[in-house]
Amino acid sequence: MNKKVLVTGGAGFIGSHTVEALIERGYGVRVFDNLNPQVHGPDAEKPAYLHPDAEFILGDVRDRVALKKALEGIELVIHDAAEVGVGQSMYSIEQYVSTNVHGTAVLWDILVNDKHQVEKVLVASSMSLYGEGRYQCPTHGKIAPRPRPDEQLIKGDWQMRCPDCDAAVEPVPTDEAKPLDCTSVYAQSKKDQEVYSLMIGKAHRIPTVACRFFNCYGPRQSLNNPYTGAAAIFWSAIQNDKAPLIYEDGLQRRDFIHVKDLVEGKLFLLETPESDFGVFNIGTGKPTSILELAQTLIKLSGKDLEPNVVEKFRSGDIRDCYADVSKLSGLGFTSSVTFEEGLRDLVEWGALQQSVSNVENAHRELVQKGLVV
């Protein structure tokens, strides 16, 4: 008999693709989601794209009674439910901490104190808890510097420098052992989710895995949420004939992974006992600049636009971070979707969607809160 999986946040972007892949593998799937209006719209209903074979329960992870009911008969838990977005987290503090930390606490309180059949838990963590990634200094070798000081950024000097000799440094892959240095409320809340989950899971002998997602993109990512991933934000602007807005000089680098690859990586860890109680990066291992992302999307759209590089910075933003994927590939998994192939998939899907570009409003809100300089 196939195992039954609960996916919290399973109606969302990554969650819905996870549900689909689980059902294709023969799992029984139950979705628990609050249909957050910022993601699903003001009159949110169960999305049409959610797999018809998935059982759906409307509920909030902070609601102990509802979550306990959702856990009945469940053998595996994929905990994806979260408030997402670095910028917004710096002023919607209670919402982020309440959903991400308290919601995770409710889940574990049930698993520790009530009867259940759960055999393994996967927690969606994030690359954001690294802060800056790893860098290589010509003199001091591999380093893990703190964020660039505001005094440097105010001068428009975006380059990461060695804290010991002030030399310009180059990014190298960021491994799971890098010291964590959260630079936003979102990052800290994801760190708390991860630490509590691994600590409690180990103490109570419930196999637990923390999946540190890098920058995921693809079909079903909200095109109306100005705090979702960069690829969707840029495409929403382009679709509405607006130039993608880019902070700093656009040369900051990230690791963009297509949702298909990310989900395959998650389920590989779910099904691999050697992953138990581990922390794993899920990325491509390849750095791409934010400017290159915007330019590629514009090229694929066929429109005559130029990215709007504003030479301003947001509080909590980092310069470079891309994944060292050797730990995950050592168990046998590697990503397969190329960058342009993945963006083409996003564009083909996005061209059929209606979107409202709210990035200017989000930018103004950040400015008003003193979070853009």
Vertex 137: Cα angle to 136 and 141 (nearest 5): 75
Q: Give every CB contact of residue 289 below 8 A, 6+ residues apart in sequence.
A: 250, 251, 252, 253
Residue 3 region by backbone torsions, left for phi larger than 0, else alpha for psi between -120 and 50, else beta: beta
Contact by Cβ (8 Å): 120, 47: no
The torsion defined by the Cα of 72, 73, 78 and 83, in degrees rounded to 10, comes to -20
Cross-strand partners of 56: 31
**Phi, psi (rounded to 5 degrees) for 2:** -70, 145
Q: How far is CA 254 from CA 174, 229, 274, 369, in A?
A: 11, 11, 28, 26
Chain center to CA of 167: 31
Alpha-carbon span 302 to 124, nearest angstrom:
35
Catalytic positions: 186
Q: Give every CB contact of residue 166 below 8 A, 6+ residues apart in sequence.
A: none
276's tokens: 């138990």
Three-class SS of residue 281?
strand
Judging by beta carbons within 10 Å of its beta carbon (0-12, 13-18, 19+), is residue 98 exposed, middle or buried?
middle
Contact by Cβ (8 Å): 307, 294: yes
Contact by Cβ (8 Å): 261, 192: no
Nearest to 149 by CA among 141, 140, 159: 159
278's tokens: 């581990």
Cross-strand partners of 245: 308
